[in-house]
Structure 1
Amino acid sequence: MVARGIKHFFLFAKAVFGALISLTGLFPTAFADGVVADPHRFDHAIAAFEAADKASMPEPGKVLFLGSSSIRRWDTARAFPEIDSINRGFGGSQTSDCIYFFDRIVLPYKPTVIVLYEGDNDIGAGKSTEQVVKDFQTFAKQVRVKLPGTKIVYIPIKPSIKRASLWNKMENVNQEVQTMAAIRKGLYYADIATPMLATGSPPDESLFAKDGLHLSDKGNALWASVINPVVKEALGE
């Protein structure tokens, strides 16, 4: 009886392991570095975007602000009044989520420029520098293949008080993407990190909300001052 129970346990464990392996094939970046990031945790948020589009579909050719809570919490229409834009930020997201939902939250808008902020939560969740860079490259390839001619403005991972211990890894990601932007047509690097560190590391707490992670109005104003001219350059203005 005991032997049969042990056998059933191992068969069950084998089945579970096989299912996990199968899932990693479906979501190759979701299980990278041992980090589970199931994109379906955002099904409700993505459905809300689609419902809004059904009620009033944005005209194609706008600037798309895409990314995690630093985008979601930001009134980008107010921050960039001269830029015709859409905000599709969803808090807690990682680069792999933008990849997974690309056909639903990027492709329908046919944006002229995508302003992307991701990587912060990726590193916060334990993903390696290499994986975050690889995921960005995958996202950029999706843009090249499905939206040829669309530009990407990359907002580097911000230094913050809450995640100060992770800054070295974040900075490595930023440097990799900055190097890509120097040689790759259609990719722009909006360096918000350097001015945020003007007073040293970690950055000035006045740039942040009370949680030490999300930006204050002052922090958002700093970002806008850097990003605005880069977006206009990408638009050819």
Structure 2
Amino acid sequence: MNSDRIYSVLVPVLRSTVKSRMGAGRRRYFDAVPVPPGRVLFIGDSITEGGLWGDLFPELATSNRGIGGEATYDLLERVDAAINAPVAVSLMIGTNDLHGPRRFRETAQIAARLEEIVRRIRDRAPAATLLVNPVLPRTAYFAPRIRELNARYADAAARHGATYVDLWPRFAADDGAIRAEYARDNLHLTPAGYLAWAEELRPHLAPFGAKEPA
């Protein structure tokens, strides 16, 4: 059976358990250890959390504020606290909305929440480089919705002076599924997937490589 069909059935049932077990500990840690100023901030869900950003970008002062299992409505609860004078922000969020509670799955709703996150980042860090990453491809089952969602993400980024980082050509196969070498379960990235993502981000983050951490 298609993994995305399975997620769509099971995740809404298990969501409260997943959030409490996967996210509560990291949220407590983030509350106790604020992001230092002057960082390149990576924020999002498990795809961001799994990135070894300090190793992928050794020339940058980075902070990883990814939490597994989170959707746009979860990130809205904590994004303000994560923004502390960053030099750049890499944002990737929304894939968990696709298989979350049915009342939150509409593409327009997801995009509206993403735009609110972007607006809050812009308000708190108007001078920072803001990189809006798309929802990555999964299986072909979700491909039409993800394409529509990413078009809305690109529009939201443009409205707020952010840069939309179009990862779709790099990550998607001809049928709209994620390329096999980039994902281990049609969702979470392999090392090759992280290397490919970092390669796409590198030109946007290059200006900050010579700066010392604050």
Q: TM-score, normalised by structure 1?
A: 0.72
| Aligned equivalent of 2:145, options 169, 177, 181 | 169
Stretches of structure 2 that go unaligned for 5 or more consecutive residues are 1-11
Name 2:189's counterpart in structure 1: 215
Q: Distance in 2 between matches of 1:48 and 1:229?
A: 31
1:217–1:154 distance in 2 versus 1, CA, 3 Å: same
1:71–1:182 distance in 2 versus 1, CA, 3 Å: same
Q: Please tell me the residue identity of whatever aligns with 1:76.
A: W
- Paired residues for 1:1-237 under 5 Å: 41=20, 42-51=23-32, 53=33, 58-104=35-81, 106-107=82-83, 109-125=84-100, 126=102, 127-161=105-139, 164-182=140-158, 184-185=160-161, 187-197=162-172, 200-209=175-184, 211-232=185-206
Q: Distance in 2 between matches of 1:136 and 1:218?
A: 27
Q: Please tell me the residue identity of whatever aligns with 2:166.
A: D
Structure with bigger RCO (C-alpha 8 Å, 6+ apart) = 2
Report if the CA contact (8 A) 2:38-2:87 is conserved: yes
Report if the CA contact (8 A) 2:118-2:157 is conserved: no
1:58–1:178 distance in 2 versus 1, CA, 3 Å: closer
Post-superposition Cα deviations, 1:159-200, rounded to whole Å, max 9, x if no partner, equal 023xx3112111111111213334542x01111111112555
Q: Distance in 2 between matches of 1:120 and 1:234?
A: 28
Post-superposition Cα deviations, 1:2-29, rounded to whole Å, max 9, x if no partner, equal xxxxxxxxxxxxxxxxxxxxxxxxxxxx
CA RMSD of aligned residues (A): 2.6
Report if the CA contact (8 A) 2:72-2:93 is conserved: yes
Q: Percent identity?
A: 24
SS in 1 for 2:76: helix
Q: Please tell me the residue identity of whatever aligns with 2:153.
A: V
Aligned length: 192
Q: TM-score, normalised by structure 2?
A: 0.79
Q: Please tell me the residue identity of whatever aligns with 2:142.
A: L
Q: Please tell me the residue identity of whatever aligns with 1:158.
A: L
Report if the CA contact (8 A) 1:63-1:85 is conserved: yes
What is the CA-CA distance between 1:230 and the residue it aligns to?
A: 2.2
Q: Distance in 1 between matches of 2:75 and 2:155?
A: 22
Name 1:8's counterpart in structure 2: none
Stretches of structure 1 that go unaligned for 5 or more consecutive residues are 1-34
Post-superposition Cα deviations, 1:39-68, rounded to whole Å, max 9, x if no partner, equal 9733432112233x2xxx553111100011
SS in 2 for 1:66: strand
